[in-house]
Amino acid sequence: MGCSEGDTECSNDEARHEVQITRSFWIGQTEVTQAAYAKVTGQRPGMYKGDDLPVEQVNVPESQGYCRAVGGRLPTEAEWEYAARGGARGARYGNLDDIAWYTANSGKRNHPVGQKMPNGFGLFDMLGNVWEWTADRYDKDYFVRGESRDPQGPPSGDQQVLRGGNWDYRAAVVRFSYRGKVGADYRSFGIGFRCVLEQGSL
């Protein structure tokens, strides 16, 4: 986990380290769509409207509420990166234009989920399109000194970790190990989420 082999664009909070994930889990094949969110909550937040567009302008409590309603939760930062890589060791799992919507190809907006190439686990839009909330609070040095077995993130912190980059960010940000961070109550047209279900909960 952390700065990928051969990646020269890493920040100092992307230290490479080993993590062990011991619990099997399922993760959404796509970001949660507006249609899926509306079916559960009756609401359709988002600057851009469309059933197959990722829901956005939702904060952490709202994202957690949706995930709980469908029997899941937000992924930990470690789970997210494991799922995003899909077995890839580089900074991305393919040519960025083929796998992600980002500033050079997005036309300055998000796009329906599942249009780009999936990763090795068959997951779409793990990079680009919209940022994705994780369950972890942000600590620059957490993975240097934190737990290596099923890490849950620091117990406190003023900011929440975002992963994956989005349609309005340059290529240097749209990488597996890049760690975004904003307050948990923040809403943006560039932030969405996907849910995790632990295998035993199905």
The pTM for the full model equals: 0.95
pLDDT digits (tens, 9 = 90+) for 53-102: 999 999 999 999 999 999 999 999 999 999 999 999 999 999 999 999 99
Q: What is the helix (H) or strand (E) element at residue 132, kind and residue range?
A: strand 131-137
Residue 201 in this model has a pLDDT that exceeds 60: no
CA distance 58 to 65: 10
Tens-digit pLDDT profile for residues 110-152 = 999 999 999 999 999 999 999 999 999 999 988 787 678 999 9
- Please compute the mean of the pLDDT values over residues 37-62 and round it to a whole number: 97
Residue partners of 95: CB distance under 8 A and separation at least 6: none
Write down all domains in the chain, each with its CATH number in brackets: 1-202 (3.90.1580.10)
- Alpha carbon 80 to chain centroid, angstroms: 6
Q: Is 18 buried (19+), middle (13-18) or exposed (0-12) by CB count in 10 A?
A: exposed
- What does the block give as tokens for 135? 């369950």
- Cα 18–chain centre separation: 20
Q: Which has the higher per-residue pLDDT, 198 or 175?
A: 175
pLDDT at 199: 75
**Contact criterion met (CB below 8 Å) for 200 and 25:** no
- Of 18-22, 88-92, 144-148, 190-194, least confident by mean pLDDT is 144-148
Q: What is the pLDDT of residue 144?
A: 80
